[in-house]
């Protein structure tokens, strides 16, 4: 049996040259107001930073773990197995709590609902002054994810959309609990994204094989649903997300995701390709419609106008161009794959363009 400290909340943060953003994350994290008797454990899994990332983490009392693979998924998996708390929260170095009650509300959702083993935050906020592309990323991640799941992670839309799609079994001033047992398709809830928290002791004991597999653990949410089809959203737990600070940064992240799914089976297993087996038939078929959706133009235009009008923000007109760009990139990389070209992925959002050895 895997036994963990029920009074300890472990926070796992993946870093790589994160000195510019990490202080904000740790400052708001250590300012969290916890329930009596609760303590924080901060673990920073670093991929070999050459800047001040490690010294910053040490200044905030974090335990540093070496991540020789650099990629963030492996960093969080290492942090998971080094953690000691029963509740483990996964943060990125560019995610910052907006309110000091975020963690206490997440803890309340666990403690007051024994059948709930995973809790998410209430969504992303775009920091003031950040470029338009950050707003789009916070909502959908990328055009492909928008097309497949159509679930906004913006703090204004996330909770209302979940209420509309799934049965609400509890709705307090601190959290909302949803029953997904009758769902035809599951929502996109990623273990390593948007400050997700889970009951690690429960998962390790119920799913020991998946607990020890990096790729399978990243789909913990889907495994949880096979035993208990309930998930909670903690209210007042929004995250400011300092993601891509430029269009170039966004394109780099999208390219990284596409390369991972086409060229690297081990990385793809932790992403869309790995989630594929858990999805309903409608979602599984939808992936084949993404290229026609773009090539036919009209469906893409209709979605672009819908987003622009429903958000009352003309920047969503960019959805048209971002989606076309994503479809074109998929086609190009598939062609390169068929020609035998292979990139070397070194870290999230970057890759060595040189052909790797086979």
Residues 6+ apart with CB under 8 A from 130: 242, 245
Mean pLDDT of 196-213: 94
Mean pLDDT of 83-87: 96
In DSSP terms, which residues pair with 65 in a beta bridge?
45
Tokens found for residue 163: 């209420």
Task: Report whether pLDDT(133) > 90.
Answer: no
Pair 259, 266: CB distance under 8 Å? no
Task: Report whether pLDDT(158) > 50.
Answer: yes
Mean model confidence pLDDT for the chain: 89
Task: Report whether pLDDT(282) > 90.
Answer: no
Instruction: Name the packing angle between helices 132-140 and 318-338 (round to 10°).
Output: 70
- The tens digit of pLDDT for each residue in 35-62 reads 999 999 999 999 999 999 999 999 999 9
Q: Number of folded domains in the chain?
A: 2
pLDDT of residue 248: 82
Residues 6+ apart with CB under 8 A from 251: 325
216/287 same-domain check: no
SS3 assignment for 128-167: CCCCHHHHHHHHHCCHHHHHHHCCCCECCCHHHHHHHHCE
Of the three residues 189, 209, 241, the one that is the final residue of a domain is: 241
The runs of H, that is alpha helices, within 214-350 are 214-217, 220-227, 247-263, 265-268, 272-275, 281-286, 290-295, 298-311, 318-338
Pair 120, 194: CB distance under 8 Å? yes
pLDDT of residue 350: 46
Give backbone dihedrals phi and psi of 9, rounded to 5 degrees, phi first. Answer: -110, 120
Pair 93, 25: CB distance under 8 Å? yes
Domain region containing 305 = 257-352
221/282 same-domain check: no
In a domain, 93, yes or no: yes
- The tens digit of pLDDT for each residue in 224-273 reads 888 889 999 999 999 999 886 678 878 888 888 888 788 876 655 556 66
Task: Report whether pLDDT(195) > 70.
Answer: yes
% of the chain at pLDDT higher than 70: 91
192/270 same-domain check: no
- The tens digit of pLDDT for each residue in 206-232 reads 999 999 998 889 888 888 888 889 999
174/202 same-domain check: yes
228/184 same-domain check: yes
Question: Residue 41 sits in a domain of what CATH number?
Answer: 3.90.550.10
Of the three residues 181, 216, 241, the one that is the final residue of a domain is: 241
pLDDT of residue 345: 54
Instruction: Name the packing angle between helices 318-338 and 298-311 (round to 10°).
Output: 140
pLDDT of residue 358: 28
224/262 same-domain check: no
What gap in Å lies between CA 157 and CA 138, rounded to an integer?
11
33/177 same-domain check: yes
Task: Report whether pLDDT(283) > 80.
Answer: no
How wide is the angle at C-alpha 356 spanned by C-alphas 351 and 358, nearest 5°? 145
Tokens found for residue 261: 């799914």
What gap in Å lies between CA 106 and CA 120, rounded to an integer?
8
Task: Report whether pLDDT(30) > 60.
Answer: yes
Mean pLDDT of 147-167: 94
Q: State pTM to two decimals.
A: 0.87
In a domain, 234, yes or no: yes
In a domain, 78, yes or no: yes
Task: Report whether pLDDT(349) > 50.
Answer: no
Residues 6+ apart with CB under 8 A from 53: 15, 16, 17, 18, 19, 22, 44, 46, 93
Mean pLDDT of 155-182: 96
């Amino acid at each position: 049996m895997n036994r963990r400290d029920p009074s300890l909340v472990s926070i796992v943060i993946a870093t790589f040259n994160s000195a510019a953003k990490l202080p904000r994350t740790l400052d708001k994290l250590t300012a969290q107001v916890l329930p009596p008797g609760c303590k924080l454990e901060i673990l920073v899994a670093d991929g070999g930073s050459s800047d001040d990332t490690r010294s910053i983490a040490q200044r905030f009392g974090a335990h540093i773990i070496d991540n020789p693979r650099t990629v963030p998924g492996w960093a969080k998996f290492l942090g998971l197995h080094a953690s000691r708390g029963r509740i483990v929260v996964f943060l990125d170095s560019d995610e910052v709590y907006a309110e000091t009650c975020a963690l206490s509300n997440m803890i309340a959702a666990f403690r007051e609902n024994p059948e709930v083993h995973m809790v998410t935050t209430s969504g992303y906020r775009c920091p003031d002054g950040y470029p338009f592309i950050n707003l789009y990323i916070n909502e959908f991640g990328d055009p492909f994810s928008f097309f497949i799941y159509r679930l906004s992670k913006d703090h204004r839309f996330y909770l209302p959309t979940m209420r509309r799609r799934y049965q609400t079994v509890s709705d307090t001033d601190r959290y909302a609990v949803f029953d997904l047992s009758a769902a035809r398709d599951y929502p996109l809830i990623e273990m390593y994204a948007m400050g997700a928290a889970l009951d690690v002791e429960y998962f390790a004991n119920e799913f020991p094989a998946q607990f020890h597999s990096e790729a399978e653990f990243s789909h913990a949410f889907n495994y949880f649903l096979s035993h208990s089809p309930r998930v909670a959203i903690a209210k007042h737990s929004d995250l400011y997300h300092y993601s891509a600070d430029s269009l170039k940064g966004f394109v780099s992240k999208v390219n990284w995701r596409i390369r991972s799914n086409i060229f690297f089976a081990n990385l793809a297993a932790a992403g869309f390709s790995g989630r594929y087996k858990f999805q309903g038939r409608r979602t599984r078929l939808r992936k084949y419609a993404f290229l026609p959706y773009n090539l036919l133009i009209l469906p893409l235009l209709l979605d672009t106008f819908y987003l622009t009008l429903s958000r009352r923000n003309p920047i969503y007109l960019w959805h048209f161009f971002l989606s076309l760009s994503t479809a074109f990139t998929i086609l190009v990389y598939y062609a390169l794959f068929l020609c035998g070209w292979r990139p070397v992925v070194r870290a999230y959002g970057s890759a060595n363009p040189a052909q790797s050895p086979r």
